[in-house]
Structure 1
């Protein structure tokens, strides 16, 4: 089913951004969700650069119609056409059935339908179909990587990619592993086969997700009850690999992470706050093997006064987000492919500072729309002057990258491409600074054989 959009209209003044669907504080929750939203400064022949935003949400939640993802600031400040997309989530988007060699990844084919719609129709909204940037955060950033390998009719679907906190450390299941997870889900619902599953109302399918958390969760890991599948049809390899060869190699990439990603999920969890050193070392063995105790000490010494839960959160942050993102930057740089890297460092004082620079914290800075985040307690206490100054810098960098393929703009410090000599990474903080090899110590800890 192709995405739909309402008819565009211009603002009375002819300036600013026009949203092409009715505004809503709470997007409708429905199986009929293959819609998209468009913001444009004018439905004319201006051929503006296009930003397509793919929301995250752990593969089970979120919406491109949430006010926090409103495209008006990008359209207004960057003279861009902005599109946000919706796609199927949870069991509707990620269950795999392996029927007659058919593919899975309905979430991905939904997103491809949206991108094809943009290529075919965005010129009518004042956009340039040959100058598209696809951006996303978390699960949405993983989607951006997965989409990078597509080249229908020999033409790349987009020119640039922005990956914010992509969970590239996830092990994407094989077909056999995904079928095992599907069997688990059928057992939760008490149905015997796909035919019976199709008769279950969709609200009950969504409700069963809560039981999937309990059945699939592992201590010390970010819970993901539903995952993509390497099915050989819609996705034939790990998404990160798609940015290294074929269509993905020619895409300009901006990639980054927050300094304390995992604090978002674990810092306020009482069971994890009570974690012991022995528990964390046992978890560290999955990553470091017989070097687990050494790694624990390294993480402990890097954060004065660290508790076992702090070591665990830093380890998860590196395993799931930072080290795989650095590895992708390393591999692209080794091939001479353009890549810029950042680390978002500004901590939030909310919850007595326990969240630090957590997962999702960069989003209101990227969109520069704090008025849309008034309901978000994780922003409480941020100094308005620092907050607004950093938001202006980050927002302008994203606009510059979308327009030119280069995030540099005046007056921020020079942001060089990530290469194997300097490994320049922009540290986004109250004072934004370009840092050489910001993750070098941890990169070598995780991979001792690397320089």
Structure 2
């Protein structure tokens, strides 16, 4: 079987191209129930929506599967999220709820292992809270939005446990589940309600945090929203949402590998993609789709990959839409004007982002120079040969696929992130930049410093990543040393808006003079204009 990134993406995000798809739904848990008495060993929180009984784990209190929105089922499928009305009695919050429906392969994949685990169910709009104590301390808050190419992931994964941040940083941490794939991003232009249903979920969760987090010892006026990949893209998109006073809903943003280079489709473009999806299922319209089981809807993702992929591009079968209701511009622009302009930003990328999708592909390993040059013309036009030579010379012994991967990584992640940093710096808005440079030896080094690799270092919880193949072979001393630098720095930024915390070297804000970018590696150093050559190569003349 050909192992191209399209099929690798399906496998990586849980899809099974042969041997069957696991799409079994299980009922969600955590229903409210009356409690005759409180167990003193179980933490109790009393937010405005209702009383919660959590569990003590790892020295912190955890509240799991807390509903923030009405289940988006039946007539509410493909409708904007509606805030949950709350419950009577004491709700059990000791077990995680269902993850959003998505493709799943039981044996996992060669890079992450798993990025979403059963049970899956449409009744998935829940969040999880970790807090050192239930008191009135007004701790800084981190809300984490998982990535997954808009089709996979879960806020309940052990990868994203808030335990280390809560315990080590005295923070309140929230992770969320939101709709994915066709259930989160199909666009119908129905009743003027817009699209981006996943974005409405995230926004509803964020408002829930603002209104209820004080009951968990958190400060609603000191919230950082952080995310990686599609989650980081979502963080930027949420920056445009303001409170009733016109202020941003959060104070700080951490954008890890945001794919800001995505071309966000217009309504017309999205409707054409929806027509493709309807054709796959043999359905007439959204009314008919609402009668289908979610297993059938999610299963169609496999053929959507087939029909929407393009050679030399990262496959994204479902995308947000510029619907004019929930989103009217590229998310990066929302961090430059309006409520988002006042948000403090930490942004970064990994050095070899695209190796994640292409580095283990047999088909792309056989790519020719002519194929890559043809792809480079999409970006550089008549300067494609010049760009190809530049990328080839930057990596001695580079194969055509290496040039292609570096080009894709720059185009989708690094250059648009640098552009955002440049534009914020020009407006004297606070922004810090980093590049994660530590390569993994897994798969004979073919992944290098790939997309997602920084995540376990940020969370400093390698024990939770034991099933992730891309960490195999890392020297534990090196691994733990880099995490001991990054994790406290993220904690510092969440708490104060400044990532400077020992042992991190002095980390200056990104400005148009020094263009300081922190290189996170075996030896972490502050570099001046780390990617300057590539920033200039991809400048306005390249289009």
Which range, TM-score by smaller chain? over 0.9
Q: 1:10-409 counterparts in 2 under 5 A?
A: 11=56, 16-21=59-64, 22=94, 26-154=117-245, 155-409=247-501
Q: Distance in 2 between matches of 1:340 and 1:27?
A: 37
Q: CA deviation at 1:189?
A: 0.3
TM-score, with normalisation over the residues of structure 2? Answer: 0.80
Q: CA deviation at 1:197?
A: 1.3
Q: Distance in 2 between matches of 1:149 and 1:196?
A: 34
The one of 502, 510, 518 aligned to 1:410: 502
Unaligned runs of 5+ in 1: none
Q: CA deviation at 1:11?
A: 3.7
Q: CA RMSD in A?
A: 1.6
Q: Distance in 2 between matches of 1:411 and 1:223?
A: 38
Q: CA deviation at 1:7?
A: 2.0
TM-score, with normalisation over the residues of structure 1? Answer: 0.96
Residue aligning to 1:7: 52
The one of 522, 525, 529 aligned to 1:430: 522
Residue aligning to 1:421: 513
Q: Distance in 1 between matches of 2:450 and 2:324?
A: 34
Q: CA deviation at 1:260?
A: 0.1
Residue aligning to 2:99: none
Match of 1:341, SS state, is strand
Q: CA deviation at 1:411?
A: 2.7
| Deviation digits for residues 38-97 of structure 1 (CA, Å, limit 9, x no counterpart) | 000011101000000000000000000001000000000000000000000000000000
Q: Is the 8 A contact 1:145 1:239 kept in 2?
A: yes
Q: Is the 8 A contact 2:55 2:63 kept in 1?
A: no
Q: CA deviation at 1:311?
A: 0.3
- Flag as ranges the 4+ runs of structure 1 deviating above 6 A: none
Q: CA deviation at 1:449?
A: 6.0
Q: Is the 8 A contact 2:486 2:504 kept in 1?
A: no
Match of 1:33, SS state, is coil
Paired residues, what number? 446
Q: Distance in 2 between matches of 1:174 and 1:192?
A: 22
Q: Is the 8 A contact 2:485 2:502 kept in 1?
A: no
Q: Is the 8 A contact 1:136 1:162 kept in 2?
A: yes
Q: CA deviation at 1:125?
A: 0.3
- Relative to structure 1, the CA distance from residue 80 to residue 192 in structure 2 (aligned partners, 3 Å threshold; closer, same or farther) is same
